[in-house]
Amino acid sequence: MKQRKKVYSALIVGGSALVASFFVMQTIFAANLTSQVTVGTATPTLSGLSVNGGTAITLNPNTTTNISINATVSDANGCSEITAGTTTVLLYRSGVTSSTCLGAANSLNCYIATAFTASSTCAGGTQNTTTTFAVQYFAQGTDASSSFSGQGWLTTVIFRTPDNTTGTSDSASVTMNSLVAINVTTSSINFGTITANTNTGSTNQQTVVANVGNTSSSLQLAAQGTLVSGVNSISTSSQHYATSTFTYGGAEQVLSGSNTIVPGFLIAAPTSTINVSSSVYWGLAVPNATPTGTYTGTNAFTALWHA
C-alpha cells in the first residue's frame, strides 16, 4: 500500500527563518504466506477389556453359553477411522497363547470373531464395543479341580485402521469352572411283562449316559422311588445293574436307596458335540406272590467328578 509522509524543511535568511513543508510518498509492500501441515495416522488404542464382566464362567450342560467381551477402541484421528477399521477378537485359554489361537479356532480352547457390536455412539474418537461368543459346554475348565489349574480364559483384541495401523491389548483372565453333567438319553427302563417268581435272566434293559460337561465323569445310582402299583411294591433290591450285559443273579450290582458309585463306569470329557457316552444294563426279579399290575418307580442318575 502507499502512505503519505509529511516532511518539514527550514532555511535561515538574514536572521529570519523560512519554513516550508512538503509531502513525500512512501510505498509499503504486504505478503500472504501459505500454511501447511500433514496430520499423521495415530495408533489406535484399546482399553477396558474384560471377559464375562471379570467374573468366573459357568457353562450350561449340553448347549452353548453366551460370553461377552467388552472393549473400548479409541483413535485420535476420529470416529471415521474406527467405523472403517477392522477387528479380530480372541477368547482363549491362556495356555494356548494368542498367536496359536490366531492360527486356528477350536471349541475346546480358542474362539475367534472378526467383528464387534458398538455398545455406544462413537464420539471424540472413542467407541465402546461388545463381542459375544457362544462357548460350548465342553470348553476346557481352569479351576482348581481341572487339568489346567492356574490358567484362565482371556481376550486379545486387535484393531486395524484403514491404513493398517494396528492397536492390540489383552484382558485379565477369568476362571472357567469345571462342569460335571450327564444326560441319560434313554427315556425309561421298561422291563416289559415279567411273571411273579421269575426274573429277566440274560435279557437286559440298556440306559445310555452321555457326558455333557467338560470333565471326565463317573456315575452314582440310587432308587429315588421304588417300583409301586397302588399299595403294592417291588423291593428296590430286586433291580440289578452292571456296566456290561449280565445274567440275573451273578456278579452284578444291587440297586439301593442311597447313592452308590457304579464300579467301572467312566465317561471321558467330550472334545466336540459328538456324544461321549457309556451304558448301564438292568435286570429285575419279581418276587413270588407279587400282585399283577403295572409298577413304576424312579431311578436317579448322578454325575460325579472324576480326575
Residues composing the chain: 307
Alpha helices in the chain (DSSP H): 79-83, 98-103
Q: Which amino acid is at 102?
A: L
* Pair (266, 196) in one structural domain: yes
- Domain span holding position 154: 45-170
Q: Is 27 contained in some domain?
A: no
Round to whole Å and give the CA distance between 91 and 110.
6
Strand residues in the chain grouped as ranges (E): 2-13, 16-27, 45-51, 64-74, 86-93, 110-113, 117-118, 126-136, 153-160, 166-170, 182-184, 198-199, 205-211, 216-229, 232-234, 239-242, 253-254, 260-261, 277-286, 296-306
Instruction: Give me the pLDDT at residue 208, please.
Output: 98
**Choice among 16-25, 119-128, 144-153, 276-285 with the minimum mean pLDDT:** 16-25
Last residue of a domain, one of 170, 193, 216: 170
Provide the whole-model pTM: 0.86
Asked whether residue 186 falls in the same domain as residue 165, the answer is no
| Cβ-based neighbour number of residue 226 at 10 Å | 19
For the cut 70, the answer to whether the pLDDT of residue 301 exceeds it is yes
Instruction: Judge if 187 and 164 occupy the same domain.
Output: no
Host H or E run for residue 230:
none
Query: Is residue 30 assigned to a domain?
Result: no
Domain identity same for 198 and 297: yes
Q: What is the CATH number of the domain that holds 209?
A: 2.60.40
CA–CA separation, 278 and 185 (whole Å): 11
Same domain for 64 and 163, yes or no, is yes
Q: Name which of 66, 183, 70 is nearest 136 in CA terms.
A: 66
160 and 263 share one domain: no
Residues 156 and 64 in one domain: yes
286 Cβ neighbours under 8 A, 6+ residues apart: 194, 195, 196, 197, 198, 199, 234, 238
Q: Please indicate, yes or no, whether residues 158 and 226 belong to a single structural domain of this protein.
A: no
Q: Quick one: 248 and 225 in the same domain?
A: yes
Q: Which of 33-37, 108-112, 259-263 has the lowest mean pLDDT?
A: 33-37
Q: What's the pLDDT tens digit per position in 206-252?
A: 999 999 999 999 999 999 999 999 999 999 999 999 999 999 999 99
- CA nearest to 190, candidates 282, 301, 302: 282
Task: Please report the pLDDT score of residue 6 as a whole number.
Answer: 52
